[in-house]
């Protein structure tokens, strides 16, 4: 079984570009395709899930609204938020969607606890919360036994656009972020810490990190191989 994982740091990208790329990756992948996680920061955008209702958007203003095929209602992505897209072969890993959601929540809780922040989940409301305020959202899609979309974690961003919507379809839901909880505010560091937790919890043997330098073009990478044993010893 392929227990290798490729992680791509994609920098700041437009949502539509990454959305199309995720769907294409899932359409053309084979049973031998390595699983991937894409780490990205988006330009401001509201996204609506498959059953998303526009009534939960009060005032989009000049922020674009994009309908996506993930689960969940409406959310906001913008600079200062870490988004992790999981492109995994769930059949190959014998992993169900509910189990994956639980794993993502548990991984986020572990990550926050490492920063000295206590967090929890809510029944029937996927995501992670700190003092009843949402800090991480989860939305996935499964096709051909493989998943795409993923999770977002508020790190150090402008939270005001969340006031223009009912986050995840819940009126009055408050949101928070790491910087306001005295957590780290560097997306690169948080991304590395999240990958470390996910690699262990998803039980990948080896990880290849492709760091895309936008100024050098999309095919310029810095590649590093990290083993699970190395992470457990760290």
| Alpha-carbon span 115 to 180, nearest angstrom | 12
Return the number of other C-beta atoms located less than 10 Å from residue 195's C-beta.
22
Tokens standing for residue 126: 């996927």
| Alpha-carbon span 222 to 84, nearest angstrom | 19
Q: What kind and span of H or E run contains 125? A: strand 125-130
Q: Are strands 146-154 and 81-89 parallel, antiparallel or unpaired?
A: antiparallel
The answer to whether residue 168 is catalytic is: yes
**Which residue among the candidates 34, 147, 168, 189 is catalytic per the annotation?**
168
**127 in the Ramachandran plot: left (φ > 0), alpha (ψ -120 to 50) or beta?**
left
H-helix segments, the chain? 15-28, 97-114, 187-202, 228-233
| Alpha-carbon span 167 to 169, nearest angstrom | 5
Q: Of all residues in the chain, what percent are helix, strand and coil, respectively (each to 5)? A: 30, 35, 35
Enzyme catalytic residues: 168
């Amino acid at each position: 079984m392929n227990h290798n994982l490729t992680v791509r740091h994609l920098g700041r990208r437009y949502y539509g570009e990454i959305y199309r790329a995720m769907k294409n990756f899932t359409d053309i992948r084979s049973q031998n395709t390595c699983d991937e996680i894409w780490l990205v920061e988006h330009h401001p955008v509201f996204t609506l899930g498959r059953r998303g209702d526009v009534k939960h958007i009060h005032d989009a203003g000049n922020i674009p609204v994009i309908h996506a095929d993930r689960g969940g209602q409406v959310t906001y992505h913008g600079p200062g938020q870490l988004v992790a897209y999981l492109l995994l072969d769930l059949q190959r890993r014998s992993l169900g969607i509910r189990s994956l959601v639980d794993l993502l929540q548990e991984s986020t809780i572990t990550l926050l606890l490492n920063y000295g922040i206590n967090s929890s989940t809510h029944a029937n409301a996927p995501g992670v919360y700190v003092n009843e305020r949402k800090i991480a959202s989860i939305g996935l899609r499964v096709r051909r036994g493989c998943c795409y979309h993923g999770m977002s974690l508020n790190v150090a961003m402008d939270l005001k656009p969340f006031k223009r919507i009912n986050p995840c379809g819940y009126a009055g839901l408050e949101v928070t972020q790491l910087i306001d909880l005295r957590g780290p505010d560097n997306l690169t560091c948080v991304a590395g810490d999240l990958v470390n937790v996910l690699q262990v919890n998803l039980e990948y043997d080896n990880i290849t990190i492709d760091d895309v330098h936008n100024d050098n073009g999309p095919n310029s990478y810095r590649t590093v191989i990290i083993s699970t044993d190395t992470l457990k010893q760290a």
